[in-house]
Structure formats: C-alpha cells, structure tokens
Amino acid sequence: MRRAAGSAVSLWIAFAAVHLWLGFLNLYGPGLPMGDVTYVYLFWVERGLNEGEWVGLDTAWVYPVLALVPMLAAYAFGPDLYATTWLTIVMALNAVALVSIIGVQERARRAPVAWWWMLFLLLVGPITLGRIDAVTVSIALVAVMLIADHPKWGAALLAIGAWIKVWPAAIVVAAFIALRARAAVVMSVLVVSLGVVALALPFGSLLALASPITQQTGRGLQVESLIATPWLWVAAAGQPGTRVYYDQGILTWQVLGEGTALAADLMTPLLALAVLIVAVLGLVAMRRGVNELELFPVLSLALVMVLIILNKVGSPQFATWIAVPIVLGLAWQRWGGRSFMTPAVLGLMIAGLTQVIYPVLYTNLLSLDTGMLVVLTVRNVLYLVLLGWAVQQIAILCWRPRVAAPRLEPAVDEEGASA
C-alpha cells in the first residue's frame, strides 16, 4: 500500500480521475459553477475580437492585463468549445504543477504533498478549475517548487501570476523578506513587470493597466467575505434595511445594511495595514537570523490569509490560494522547515466547506438559510484560525532565532530520489 501511494503512476491516475470528475461537475453539475468562464470571460473575449474593445487595455478591468492570455487561449476552438478548452488548459497547467511537485521518476518525490493537493482539489470542488484563479494557482505552485534552487525563475513565475491576478504578489513579498536571494527576486519581478507594461502600453493606457487596483475601491461587501458575515446574520434576523442584493455593475451578490458602506471603505486600508504588520514581523524574524526554511512558508501563508480575510470581495475561489503556501510548507518541512500538519488539516476543512457554500447550496446561502449561515461562519472562522496559526509561528520565530541557516537544497531519501 505504501509503495502504491509513492508511485508516480498512482498519482497520475488520481490526477486524471480528480480532474475528470471536477470537469464533469463544471460542465453538468448544479449551480452553474463555470458561469464566469462561459458568460463573463467569453463575453470579454468576443467583445475584444468583434468590437476591438479590450478590457484591461481600452477600458478599466478588475484583473491585471495578463488575465486576457488564458481567456483568449480558451477561444482557440471557438465559442462552442470555450468551456471545454478552458478546462483542458487548466488541467494541463495543473499537470505541470504536479510534475514540479513529484518530478518525473517512477517513485514520486514528495508523494504525500501531491496526495494532499489532490484531496484539496477534490474537496474544493469545481470552482478550483472554473475561475481565472486556477491559472494563477498552478503557476504559483510551480514557482514555489522552483524558488529554492532557481530563485530568479520562481520569482518571475510569481510575477507573471500577479499580472494575471494580484494575490501571488503576497508570496513575492514573503520571498523578498525571507529569502537570501532577494536581489534575484527583485530583479525578476522588475524585469517581468517592465516587460508586461512595455508590451501592453502601446495597445492601451497606463490608467487601464492600473485599473485592477482602482476597481476594487468602489466595491461593496460580497456575501462570502468574512467581514460580511455579521450583516448576513442581521439580515436573517429580519433587520429592516439589511438585505442581500445582486450588483449588476460588478456581477456579484453583496450585502447591504447600516454600516456596510463604511466597512467596505475601511477594508482596503485595513488590508494594507495588516500586510504591513505581517511584513514587519517577517522582517524582525529575518533580522534575528531565523532561517528561510522556516520563515518563508509561514510568512507566505500569513500574507495570503490577510489578503483573503480582509478582502471585501471574498469569492469562494479564494480558498484555492491557500494550497500554494501549504504545499510549500509541506514540501519544505522535510528539509528542516516547521511542521505544516495543522494548516494542512485546516486547509482541507476549509476546502470542503467552501464546496458546500459554492456551488452546492449557494442559493440557500443567498436566501439566508440558517444552516448555510452556520457553514459560512465556520468556514470564515477557520480562515481566522489559519491566519492566527501562521502569525503565531512567525512570532515564535522572532524569539527563537537560528544561529546557522541551512542551505535550501533537496534532501535525498534512502532510495536516492529527491525528497
């Protein structure tokens, strides 16, 4: 049994089964899990191709400009096969991510990490493939598997991911603080960013390229976000003026009530402040000589969790982000990093609850069903617990510096395969 679990063939069979199941759910399952892909992404692409008006170049957009690349690629076989092509692209990217985790040997390296990721994908459900986040997660997974031996390439991939959707920038910040190769990290990020701007600017405006940041400021509180949870309970209790509504401008469900506008206005500066506080903690740990094996994974997790918890958007696919720092932590704990068993368990619980919320019983949540509000509240509390664990680990590292930091290099197991 143990030999089968460590077999690359077993993992690839599981990979195929998981992706076929998730693909089936995306195409035929309840709740329209691929609604963003088949309606919104396809609309943006066809407007650009047919009318010459490109989001992110000619007009403001919620995503960075490189998000157009996978959306356009999914149009390769036309609109009728757009959803299938999208799923195929994501599966191919995830296959590359799996190779980066287990290698190409018959005996898979880091097999337990790969099995955890397969289970995580299965528990999150169809949303893990049916959003632009799927592209960035796979890119970021490859990046963190590379960054120890090839910091320039790892950082470059993270920068590319951040130009598709901003969240991988959190791991870039963690890498800059925690890794000794920070000069390589900065150089790679600058080269990628300058290259993207240089390529895109002749086709659009600088204002449009910067619009992913400005577009977030005017949004309200999305129902799945942690900050919206109290108002959902108030609305369920029948408080006049507090309700769930659909925002036609940004195509999402939000909550409205006394104090929601103020809360929405405060979230962006609070998020920036929290990122700064966590970054300062990371800097203190780094300055006290803590080794990067321990610091980088927990700092990455803390910063990603801040982006999720203090985000007024709170889309269900945000749960997929946590796979990257957890996979990183699980992989590096064998080299001498801190144990990541606690976040691994919490991550699986968050994943399962997220699939219940969306798409399985999303309509029940919008109708303020008490059971669904409990599920959402528990999931959001687990987000807080995961952030608390990560911040606690950084605080512990601040007070327990290591004198000598081991080099970031793979260990070799008894069979001669990289661990």
pLDDT of residue 67: 96
pLDDT of residue 134: 97
- The residues near 78 (Cβ < 8 Å, ≥ 6 apart) are none
pLDDT of residue 76: 97
- Residue 69, amino acid: V
pLDDT of residue 419: 36
- The residues near 394 (Cβ < 8 Å, ≥ 6 apart) are 278, 281, 282, 285, 295, 298, 299, 302
Lookup: tokens for 1: 């049994």
**47, 75, 80, 82: which is closest to 61 by C-alpha?**
47
Q: Which residues pair with 252 in a beta bridge?
A: 247
pLDDT of residue 408: 53
Residue ranges with strand state E in 12-75: none
- Residue 165, amino acid: K
Residues of the chain falling short of pLDDT 50: 405-406, 410-419
In whole angstroms, give the CA distance from residue 314 to residue 380: 10
**C-beta neighbour count of 233 within 10 angstroms:** 17
pLDDT of residue 1: 62
- The residues near 331 (Cβ < 8 Å, ≥ 6 apart) are 101, 110, 113, 144, 145
412 phi, psi to nearest 5 deg = -120, 125
